[in-house]
Amino acid sequence: MTVQTEIQNETPSKLSVQHVSKRFRSGGRVVHALADVSLEVGEGEFICLVGPSGCGKSTLLNIIAGLETADEGRVFTGGAPITHPGRDRMVMFQESALFPWLDVLDNVLFGLALKPGLSKAERVEVAQFYLKLVGLEKFARSYIHELSGGMKQRVALARALAPNPRVLLMDEPFAALDALTREQLYGDLQRIWQEHRKTIVFVTHNVREAACLGDRVALFSPHPGRITAQFRVGLPRPRDLNSVELARHATEITAALKGTTVPAEEFAI
């Protein structure tokens, strides 16, 4: 395998969530985190899962990642059922989850090192390609504690992209960042997604963020966690978080989220 074939786009994968339920026992009572949730995500689609905290959207993401198992129902990627974590589905967490004992380059190499078929030099080349993609090639030898919050999440993005997954799972990756940094990252993420098509499942509680990034937005409601409405956002890319059009979409989604609206179909755009 060469570096070129390695960083060529892997076909993004179709995701199919079928009747997934999940319950947790917490402090003597049962929390119904997910109740019969079904969701189809197309190849290379960018879908945002939006809802208040505790609505089960992160649980669904973890099940897709293979970090948790569903009590009922199944999830398929590209036709194969998900049973455990795999490099075809990489995860980006809210905290960077980068390893502080490794420098930036070695963090990006961590997942690559476990991928067979590449020599050490080729891995380094692949890692540097992704560091460049997120604009951090000059920081390859920096340590994590020397980076700002935004830079950390860029490294995390590079690390998630490096093994060339078919699905990218993002769990509120920008929630802890300041507004300015976040807007920059929206731009970068859209650019990267357009260049390197991945199927992206993006969990957030920020409606504007969801409208800015997603092809589609799925609304979750808690107790029990389920999908109550879905919206298609047809705005051209790259999208500007501050555009009036985007604000209009966000307002409609917010209204639906608060349950103050007529059935979802009327708002589907």
Partner 1 sequence: MNRTLRAALFFVVAIAAWELLFRAGIWSPVLVPSPLTVGRYLGEALIDGTLWDATLVTMRRLLLGYLFGIALGLPLGLFTARYRLLGDTLGLVALGLQTLPSVCWVPLALLWFGQTESAMFFVVVMGTLWSMIIATDNGVRNVPPIYARAARTMGSSGVHIWVKVMLPASLPFIVSGMKQGWAFAWRSLMAAEIYVTILSGFGLGNLLHYGRELNAMEQVIGIMLVIIVIGLLADKILFSPWERFLHRRWGTAR
> In the complex, which residues of this chain contact partner 1 (CB under 8 A)?
65-67, 85-87, 89-91, 93, 95, 97, 99-101, 110-111, 114-115, 143-145, 159, 163
From the number of C-beta atoms within 10 Å of its C-beta (0-12, 13-18, 19+), residue 92 rates as buried
Closest separation in Å from C-beta 45 to partner 1:
20
Crossing angle of the two packed helices 179-195 and 149-161, in degrees rounded to 10: 20
Q: Which is nearer to partner 1, 49 or 256 (CB)?
A: 49
Closest separation in Å from C-beta 18 to partner 1:
22
Q: What order of strands is seen across the sheet that includes strand 15-26?
A: 29-41, 15-26, 72-77, 80-81
Give exposure, 125-159, as e/b (b: 16+ Cβ within 10 Å).
Answer: bbbbbbbebbebeebbeeebeebeebbbbbbbbbb
- CA 145 to chain CA centroid, Å, is 24
Q: Which is nearer to partner 1, 49 or 92 (CB)?
A: 92
Written as six digits, the tokens of 59 are: 């649980």
Query: How far is the C-alpha of 142 from the C-alpha of 174, rounded, in Å?
Result: 21
Q: Which is nearer to partner 1, 25 or 101 (CB)?
A: 101
Closest separation in Å from C-beta 139 to partner 1:
15
Dihedral of CA atoms 17, 21, 24, 28 in degrees, nearest 10, equals: 170
Q: Which is nearer to partner 1, 37 or 161 (CB)?
A: 161
Written as six digits, the tokens of 72 are: 């009922």
Closest separation in Å from C-beta 66 to partner 1:
8
Q: Which is nearer to partner 1, 51 or 163 (CB)?
A: 163
Closest separation in Å from C-beta 143 to partner 1:
6
Closest separation in Å from C-beta 65 to partner 1:
6
Q: Which is nearer to partner 1, 94 or 221 (CB)?
A: 94
Written as six digits, the tokens of 180 are: 């300015």
